[in-house]
Amino acid sequence: MRKENSGVGIMKVRQALLSLCLGLTVLGESASAEPLNTDAEQALDNLPAVAGYFESVVKRQGKKTAEQQEQWYFWREAAHVETRNTSGEVSELWQRHQNGQISYQLIFHDDQLVIDYTAAELQAAQRYPQWSDLTSIIDPLFLKTHLKNTGAVKTLGRQAQRYQGQVGDVKFEVWWLENERMPALLRQVYPDGELTVQLRALYPLDDAPWLPSQIEHYAHLDFEDLDEQETAVIARSSHQDQDAFSLAP
CA separation for the pair 136, 44 (Å, rounded): 9
Distances (CA, A) of 39 to 35, 76, 148, 221: 12, 20, 21, 38
199-239 pLDDT, tens digit each: 999 999 999 999 999 999 999 988 877 655 445 533 443 34
Q: Is residue 4 domain-resident? A: no
- The identity of residue 151, as a single letter, is G
Structural domain boundaries enclosing 35: 10-245
59-91 pLDDT, tens digit each: 988 767 788 899 999 999 989 999 998 988 889
Q: Is residue 3 domain-resident? A: no
Whole-model pTM?
0.77
| Cβ–Cβ under 8 Å, residues 102 and 89 | no
- When divided into structural domains, the chain yields a total of 1
CATH number at residue 71: 2.50.20
Angle subtended by helix axes 228-245 and 10-22, to nearest 10: 50
Q: Is residue 172 domain-resident? A: yes
- Per DSSP, 22 falls in state H
153-171 pLDDT, tens digit each: 999 999 999 999 999 999 9
Sheet holding 90-96, edge to edge: 148-155, 158-167, 170-177, 182-190, 193-204, 50-60, 66-76, 80-85, 90-96, 102-108, 113-117, 219-222
Look at residue 135 and tell me whether its pLDDT is greater than 90: yes
